[in-house]
């Protein structure tokens, strides 16, 4: 059980004031909409990805398959694939965007500065990193930490789908535009998707959208909204 003092400490670590501000919230920049530019090279990558055999249906087989994946060009620059981390029976699945440099070096998602903030966000609603599952839309680091391209997302999509089918979480917490837009097949802004309970695919798993921790590090004024999103996610989880 988490004490109020612990919760305050986690919230302080997130640099969230635990009382309501009287002044109006400062306006934050929203994350930009997804690019619709898909070139012929990307299209060819999608076609070749779709021609590949179906992904493994068991956890270890899936992990092994991802570790040697060459479905898109991201395999050329990576140090290693980043499958995911946490409890494969978790009630809550966090989905981020893509590994960065530290994740690529360690083979684990969200281990850099964003990861530290994500851990604190989870603790603030009483969840330890090891008790949830954390995965990304793509399993390899895009060079220079650019957004993953549509073809790369398409090439990797079956892996995450299969992870979700095996974990069967009660709720998916999608952090950031890339995760939210790709999971929901939407081009809405994160700011417009927040505060709603969506359903993911045919499984109709509840899905809640929030800001990416990296965005929160750049825009600390958005942390209050992220805290509201976490409370909403907790409420949805508690209702299951």
Residues that bind ligand URA (CB under 6 A): 96-100, 103, 109-110, 114, 136, 214
Q: Which is nearer to ligand URA, 81 or 206 (CB)?
A: 81
Instruction: Compute the half-sphere exposure of residue 103: CA atoms within 13 Å on the CB side of its CA.
Output: 29
Residue 237 CB, nearest approach to ligand URA (Å): 21
CA distance 107 to 83: 8
Pair 166, 88: CB distance under 8 Å: yes
Residue 240 CB, nearest approach to ligand URA (Å): 25
Q: Looking at beta carbons, which residue is closest to ligand URA? A: 96
Residue 43 CB, nearest approach to ligand URA (Å): 25
- Apex CA 34: angle with CA 85 and CA 173, to 5°? 35
Going by the DSSP 8-state scheme, the letter that residue 76 receives in this structure is G
Residue 104 CB, nearest approach to ligand URA (Å): 9
Q: Which is nearer to ligand URA, 7 or 107 (CB)?
A: 107
Q: Which is nearer to ligand URA, 103 or 157 (CB)?
A: 103
Non-local (6+) Cβ contacts of 144 within 8 A are none
């Amino acid at each position: 059980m988490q004490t109020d003092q612990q919760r305050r400490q986690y919230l302080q670590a997130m640099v969230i004031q635990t009382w309501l501000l009287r002044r109006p919230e400062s306006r934050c920049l929203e994350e930009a909409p997804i690019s619709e530019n898909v070139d012929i090279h990307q299209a060819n990558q999608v076609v070749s990805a779709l021609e590949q055999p179906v992904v493994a249906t068991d956890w270890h087989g899936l992990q092994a398959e991802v570790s040697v994946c060459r479905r898109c060009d991201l395999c050329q620059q990576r140090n290693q694939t980043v499958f995911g981390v946490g409890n494969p029976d978790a009630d809550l699945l966090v989905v981020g965007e893509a590994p960065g440099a530290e994740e690529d070096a360690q083979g684990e998602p969200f281990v850099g500065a964003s990861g530290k903030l994500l851990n604190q966000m989870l603790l603030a609603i009483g969840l330890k990193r090891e008790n949830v599952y954390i995965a990304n839309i793509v399993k390899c680091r895009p060079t220079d930490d650019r957004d993953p391209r549509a073809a790369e997302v398409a090439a990797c999509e079956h892996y995450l789908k299969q992870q979700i089918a095996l974990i069967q979480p009660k709720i998916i917490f999608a952090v950031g535009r890339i995760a939210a837009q790709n999971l929901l097949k939407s081009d809405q802004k994160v700011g417009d998707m927040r505060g709603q309970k969506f359903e993911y695919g045919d499984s109709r798993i509840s899905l809640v959208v929030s800001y990416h921790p990296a965005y929160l590090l750049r825009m600390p004024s958005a942390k209050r909204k992220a805290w509201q999103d976490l409370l909403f996610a907790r409420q949805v989880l508690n209702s299951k």
